[in-house]
Amino acid sequence: MSTPSFQLGSKRLVAALLAAGVLGGVGATAVQHMQWSANAQAVPAVVAQAAGTMAPAVSVPNFAAITAQAGPSVVNISVRGTRKVGNDEDDGDDSDTAPSANRGQQMDPGDPMQQFFRQFGFAVPQQGMRGFGRQIPQEVPTAGEGSGFIISPDGTILTNAHVVKGAKTVTVKLTDRREFKAKVLGTDPKTDIAVIKIDAKDLPVARLGDSKAVQQGEWVLAIGSPFGFENSVTAGVVSAKGRALPDDSAVPFIQTDVAVNPGNSGGPLLNTRGEVVGINSQIYSKSGGYQGLSFAIPIDLAVNIKDQIVEHGKVNHARLGVVIQEVNQAFADSFKLPKPEGALVASVEKDGPADKAGLQPGDVITGYNGQAIVSSNDLPAAIATARPGAEARLQVWRQGKQTTVQATLGGNTGKGEQVASNDKVGKGKLGLALRELTPQEKQASGSKNGLIVEQAAGPAALAGVQPGDVVLSVNGAAVTGIDELRKQVAQSDKSVALLIERNGQKIFVPVQLG
């Protein structure tokens, strides 16, 4: 199927408090243009450093050799399926009652048939209609193409889940032009990984590399079938690692500037040794085509998912059972963190793995099994590579001190780790009129403590606090009364972090004090 495009921007709305963060900041980089010799195998690239020193010369990889080695293991995947449509047109929805978005043009006013319908008060039919009234839903054929690569001589192939989604037949074409019908062994939409199998032997196999060893700025190469052009090769560099996308995915994507287009989905991303380090999966595009931002699933994660599919036919993702937030400077000031890093725990699932381990709202997870958690998205990305029952050693910042919490990851019965985004904050006084909860309100909310917001103004209102919200804690300390809240605010220098509950959801809101 086609590589999906997405728009970066406001996507998640948690407890109706937040506007999701927008990626921004465009830098300018000077590029030295080099003349290429027709017979040159490699051209040295030189980068200027401080004090007039020069970095070591780096040669351009031999892309031809990489392609010759890895290319035979790359396959073209064609899929066929059907889609239900109604009202004589494809409304893009599986529901036979969904409204159509692509109506036909009206008949010519001078058409005798139209005059006949109007004369007797009937609705005027549209062009292309084969009858009157709502048509019986029909199954219409669909088709798509993608890429994949062989990982075992007997025909096991890795690709994207969206490539084979809804397919009734899957055809694999090798570089030697042989074609095979493939069986879908299993898919995992959460990570967009699929495993398919063809009945063959002695096939060329892709060599798998180590995606953890990939470095920002290194050369990478993609092979696939963009727009159906089989075995096309494009090259570029790694733009970033561990990139989280606003699509509720836990995948720590490898971002590149390799030209990837619809049809490249499922194809390999290769390093200069010809090893697969990722599976090309998504692009950022406003046009539907390549615009310089491509994203690949790390091969380490893909192999983990593949092993579960081959062994069990399905994937069971590990989960910690928390809702987390990004730590910005305001939160860092509120919780006395040295730097705005980590994953702020907004709420803990009752009786979940985190709850059993003793994690609390207001904790900031700064490490996972020795791996630093810099962005909040680093935590679900790390957990995505684990399996249920695995031990997780968490470095936690709590009440101004570093501690360690040991947790046993559970199975993915829900959405896993959810990430919320932070809103903008203002300056000035807190700006809240509060009162204590009545016994009836405490029973309804299930909270023993908390203050209900009657009026919100100034910085609190700008941060998203609204009348009816319940303030549960300040800077991680539970609010037992108005005097306790005033005490916590008085002890804060620049900002406070209010834990707000609204409609059963909890989230921290940073409010600057000025």
pLDDT category at 343 given cuts 50, 70, 90 is: very high
Give the active site residue among 91, 192, 300, 469: 192
- Tell me how crowded residue 207 is: count the other CB atoms within 10 A of its CB: 15
Tokens of 365: 């997870």
What digits encode the pLDDT tens for the residues 173-207?
Answer: 999 999 999 999 999 998 999 999 999 999 999 99
The question of whether 248 is a catalytic residue gets the answer no
The CATH number for 78's domain is 2.40.10.120
The question of whether 176 is a catalytic residue gets the answer no
Domain count, the chain: 3
Of 314-318, 363-367, 418-422, 507-511, which range is least confident? 418-422
DSSP secondary structure code for residue 437 in this structure? P
Helix (H) / strand (E) element for 303: namely helix 299-312
pLDDT score at 495: 85
Of 42-46, 190-194, 468-472, 499-503, which range is least confident? 42-46
CA distance 323 to 10: 18
Whole-number average pLDDT of the chain: 78
Among 315, 337, 371, give the residue marking a domain's end: 315
Among 315, 347, 362, give the residue marking a domain's end: 315
The yes-or-no verdict on residue 257 having pLDDT over 60 is yes
pLDDT score at 390: 92
pLDDT score at 55: 61
Q: Mean pLDDT over residues 235-259, rounded?
A: 87
Within-domain flag for 71: yes
- Tell me how crowded residue 255 is: count the other CB atoms within 10 A of its CB: 19
| Same domain (yes/no): 78, 220 | yes
Considering the entire predicted model, what is its pTM? 0.65
The question of whether 378 is a catalytic residue gets the answer no
Q: Mean pLDDT over residues 36-58, rounded?
A: 46
Within-domain flag for 112: no
| Same domain (yes/no): 158, 205 | yes
Q: Does 70 or 136 have the greater pLDDT score?
A: 70
Comparing CA positions, the residue from 184, 208, 212 lying closest to residue 197 is 184
The residue whose two tokens read 């084969």 is 130
| Same domain (yes/no): 224, 163 | yes
Within-domain flag for 247: yes
Give the active site residue among 91, 147, 162, 423: 162
The yes-or-no verdict on residue 453 having pLDDT over 50 is yes
Question: Is residue 366 within 8 Å of 415, Cβ to Cβ?
Answer: no
Within-domain flag for 339: yes
Question: Is residue 458 within 8 Å of 429, Cβ to Cβ?
Answer: yes
What digits encode the pLDDT tens for the residues 266-286?
Answer: 999 999 999 999 999 999 888
| Same domain (yes/no): 493, 465 | yes
| Same domain (yes/no): 462, 450 | yes
The domain in which residue 388 lies consists of 318-420
Give the active site residue among 147, 211, 265, 285: 265
The yes-or-no verdict on residue 261 having pLDDT over 90 is yes
| Same domain (yes/no): 342, 483 | no
Q: What is the DSSP string of 232-288?
A: EEEEEEEEEEEE--TTT----EEEE-S---TT-TT-EEE-TTSEEEEEEEEEE-SSS
